[in-house]
Chain A
């Protein structure tokens, strides 16, 4: 039993930490690519990257690498930025301060305080590394020091949903600019999956295997299937189902549906239309997140006692 408001904060701390980490990984790969490959059309590449990350930009103004860095990394007022995520994670922790452990609070608090306002060109890669380390530190503290109660379930639920979403976005960038998009090797490396992938498939990377690994591997924790299953598991822990028929919880239903779809559809079908399939995954995670909100964090309309009858 915990306050709905606190549960919501924990869910979002999980989501924001994972989002900061995921965004840093995606940006690291793509900004590097822009530098290395002289044939890439900077404006187009940046534009597609922004659209994958859910940011709409003015179509008449050319977009540069610097813009991407500002919008997706350091701008505190951009909801898609890493800085925004880290700040929000900290604000949520502050609202749930009596439930969040002091260690976690101090990590989130100092992370926000040390967040740079601009990044010099030679420090870009270093910055993304720092974001990954801070996220790993925060998650590690939760993993080692939080009782496996509702607090942990909500945190992990938030993380898993966000992770599925982030991996879906990363996979969608593969088909961004067709030939000049990041190679599968780069994508695998960016999520720290390359070595695990090589061990699993014991061979040269093939597009089919790589996609399969990130989409459907049941053991690799960053695959979409793993993340969705983990989220489902958290939901079951929050409310152990006793229903004889079907699944009454709509968040569980939504996640179960997308999981089955990925699991049972031939992999070649998925790869053929990767952007659309990844869109489906993102819609499903976002709908599931909304269902969780409806179910566990009902917004209490703030009571207003004056001015109602005007």
Chain B
């Protein structure tokens, strides 16, 4: 082991022993400090580097992000979005299960939302209490019956996953409102391929660049009935939103307009945007504005981020709002506890991904048990996302816990409790060197109505302080490029430039991973077949560059002339 990983295993056991229970699962090293299979190549590549070298690369990653404007606001100063140079590796065989689990989950959530804002069969059949739905702060009666023509409500979802102490994948929470972070997946891959190309050489990493196309396809598929070529826009709250970079990236890569609320207006139950050529109809709005701000006529009257009349237009079926309004009821953390039952109910299948054990505080005895064990549990508000309001029992002070207990007694519907799960650790470069840090994973799924497509990989967020279990970019979290690697045959069918069996050059690799849109092959397979083994069609002959005829050949002559003159003189 090179000096890069010095002191790694020592600290890994140390940090785990701070808390009771099993140590965290380390994704690179097994308990005997041997490198696990999926990480073998990456470990070898990294071990050839010194710490300083890797730090240099990390700085290059950061300065590239600064130049691109991939930043977040830190006390009024722009900081590059933190990206760790060590990627997370997930084996294709492992990924297949995650992918299937996410698909199943999204399908069940779609069915649940259709039911909630429709017939409400699950309530009638006693699978989920009506009270739970109507008391959810994100349940909006206004959304009843408002659905895209293709029936999809969750065009984009981010299902947060963690790996428990045994390495098994579990769902931590569902995000089906406006999940963000996918731009970092795309830009992380791009900047990694440009800065650390040698890491990619020995592995077949599944590219992530076709996400925008998948999203565009899903948005087009969700267009109102009878619109063949829909006008799609991305609705952003504006430049001061922390995810503005993401909004611009998606709009740019999909080639659609990025609008703010003030660019839109509604008239006659239709939505228009103000353009230099006058009002233009809008058919699909991929909105990155929360429900409450979308339409001042229906929700917060003081909102300037949406446009009055949007909901009416959506209800009339003249515009599709994606994701649908009212989806928040499905990612309520109490509804989360019913998800395994809902999967069985709607799909007749056993859940492929397990939940984390959760106490519902309204159930008999649960509140008492939780209050009793508050210092060893994690308590979360049901309607928060991104770690907002979360309390980690073992890390909290007596005073904090007392305050929490009062709040739990006052509002048991508003909270859930879970045991402290030691999230898996991955080597991460911090000030001390390479150290284990806890991480989670947010895979993104896009539903176009006929298939739920899961982006291979997703956003891995790392908690940078030692032992920290809350991983969120708003709370000092970093990120990692996430690689799904595996045998060629599983996914590569020659569609990415080089044909099967072609030599993989570093350059080609970088181009493949760094391009943020899918590569468009210059020679189509048909053309290649037509011309057999010939590398280029005959008419693509080499053309030498044109030059100014006054240039080089004449100089030769002049030189000759001069020499001749000299010769005659001598």
- Taking CB atoms, residues of chain B closer than 8 Å to A190 are none
Fill in one digit per residue for A1-25: 1 if any B CB lies within 8 Å of its CB, else 0.
Answer: 1111111000000000000000000
**Complexed CA–CA distance, A3 and B231 (Å):** 13
**Complexed CA–CA distance, A300 and B275 (Å):** 12
- Taking CB atoms, residues of chain A closer than 8 Å to B325 are none
**Complexed CA–CA distance, A300 and B308 (Å):** 14
Query: How many Cβ-Cβ contacts under 8 Å join chain A to chain B?
Result: 77
Does the CB pair B277–A3 fall under 8 Å?
no
User: With A296-B276, A305-B301 as given contacts, are A3 and B68 in contact (CB-CB < 8 Å)?
Assistant: no
Restricting to A101-155, which residues have a CB under 8 Å from any CB of B?
Answer: 102, 105-106, 109-110, 113, 150
Does the CB pair A306–B239 fall under 8 Å?
no
Does the CB pair B276–A109 fall under 8 Å?
no
**Complexed CA–CA distance, A296 and B277 (Å):** 8
- Taking CB atoms, residues of chain B closer than 8 Å to A298 are 274
Does the CB pair A305–B67 fall under 8 Å?
no
Does the CB pair A3–B252 fall under 8 Å?
no
- Taking CB atoms, residues of chain A closer than 8 Å to B301 are 305-306
CB distance from A152 to the nearest CB of B (A): 13
Please tell me which one of the listed residues A95, A238, A305 contacts residue B296 in the complex, with CB atoms under 8 A apart.
Answer: A305
Task: Tell whether A253 is near chain B: CB-to-CB under 8 Å.
Answer: no
**Complexed CA–CA distance, A105 and B280 (Å):** 27
CB distance from A103 to the nearest CB of B (A): 11
Q: Point out which of A1, A110, A302, A304 has the most chain B C-beta atoms below 10 A from its C-beta.
A: A1
Q: Which residue on chain A has the smallest CB distance to residue B257? A: A3
Which of B124-132, B164-172, B259-267, B377-385 has 4 or more CB atoms under 8 Å from chain A? B259-267
Q: Chain B interface residue count: which class?
A: 20 to 34
Task: Tell whether B390 is near chain A: CB-to-CB under 8 Å.
Answer: no
Restricting to B233-250, which residues have a CB under 8 Å from any CB of A?
Answer: 234, 239, 244, 248
**Complexed CA–CA distance, A113 and B77 (Å):** 11
Task: Tell whether A94 is near chain B: CB-to-CB under 8 Å.
Answer: yes
Interface size on A, residues (CB 8 A): 28
Does the CB pair B304–A302 fall under 8 Å?
yes
**Complexed CA–CA distance, A45 and B307 (Å):** 53
Restricting to B61-97, which residues have a CB under 8 Å from any CB of A?
Answer: 66-69
Q: Which residue on chain B has the smallest CB distance to residue A238? A: B276
- Taking CB atoms, residues of chain B closer than 8 Å to A106 are 67-69
CB distance from B242 to the nearest CB of A (A): 14
Q: Which residue on chain A has the smallest CB distance to residue B275? A: A1
Task: Tell whether A97 is near chain B: CB-to-CB under 8 Å.
Answer: yes
Q: Which residue on chain A has the smallest CB distance to residue B265? A: A300
- Taking CB atoms, residues of chain B closer than 8 Å to A38 are none
- Taking CB atoms, residues of chain A closer than 8 Å to B256 are 98
Task: Tell whether B251 is near chain A: CB-to-CB under 8 Å.
Answer: yes
- Taking CB atoms, residues of chain A closer than 8 Å to B280 are 1
Does the CB pair B276–A105 fall under 8 Å?
no
Q: Which residue on chain B has the smallest CB distance to residue A296? A: B276
Does the CB pair A97–B302 fall under 8 Å?
no
Residues of B within 8 A of A (CB): 66-69, 234, 239, 244, 248, 251-252, 256-260, 262-263, 265, 273-277, 280, 296-297, 301-304, 307-308
